[in-house]
Amino acid sequence: MNVTVYGDSILKGVLLEGGKYVVNRDWEQRLGEMFHLTIRNCARFGCTILKILPLIRRDSGAAASEGEIAVLEMGGNDCDFDWAAISQDPDGHHECRTPPREFLSRYREAVELIRRSGRTPVLMTLPPVHSARYLRYICRNGLSMANILAWLGNVEVISQWQSKYSRMVEQVAREMNVKLIDLRRAFPKEPRDLEPLLCEDGIHPSRLGQKLIFDTLCAGLA
């Protein structure tokens, strides 16, 4: 069976180790072997729903193979902000990369394109983030943590905002009657319990976190 993965750095297998981003694709190879899948991984670092849509449109013009699946894992970059701009102007108005209404609209479009192409869409919720760890990481090169916190109001707003995008994925799955693999539910809720499952940037799963994603994918595809 053929599987195409449309996602961001989470399903690309990106890790932050020794201060550098590296890619670990062990999960992909193991999943393919376990379920006899041919996986085409189109996940990209920094990808948003707007960036992946042109590829989905192109792919949807080709005939699907029998039983082909398309996995969609998006939202983690869509909900992100220009933190440098916020650091410089904490009193200003700042929009995230893909505002919620547009995210919902484009996500629905992606699902419909996949479905019309004859492939089966499978959606994935977002693994949680560690707000304090992420804030420390984005401020490591001189951004003003005080200014960013003044704009946020509370550091946990980072996690709450990202959670909103995961809930929108759930909403689309319900509305469009699409299979959902709930990555978020597999991760613990408390920041302290999250720490070993996330890298020092607070957003990318560690090797332990990637194992949890692999196990969740296995359960979802079984």
**Banded model confidence at residue 222, pLDDT cuts 50, 70, 90:** confident
Q: pLDDT digit string (tens) for 39-64? A: 999 999 999 999 999 999 999 988 88
Contact 124, 73 (CB under 8 A): yes
Segment 101-130, tens digit of pLDDT: 999 999 999 999 999 999 999 999 999 999
What is the model's pTM? Answer: 0.95
**pLDDT at position 78:** 98
pLDDT tens track for 172-203: 999 999 999 999 999 998 889 999 999 999 99
**Cβ–Cβ under 8 Å, residues 137 and 201:** yes
**91 DSSP β-pair partners:** none
Name the token pair of 105.
């609209």
DSSP 64: P
Q: What is the DSSP string of 99-156?
A: -HHHHHHHHHHHHHHHHHTTPEEEEEPPPP--HHHHHHHHTTTS--HHHHHHHHSSTT
pLDDT digit string, tens, across residues 60-100: 988 888 889 999 999 999 999 999 999 999 999 999 999 99
What is the structure's pLDDT at 147? Answer: 98
State residue 66's pLDDT score: 84
Task: Report which of 162, 60, 179 is spatially closest to residue 123, judged by C-alpha positions.
Answer: 179
Q: How far apart are CA 199 and CA 17, in angstroms?
A: 8
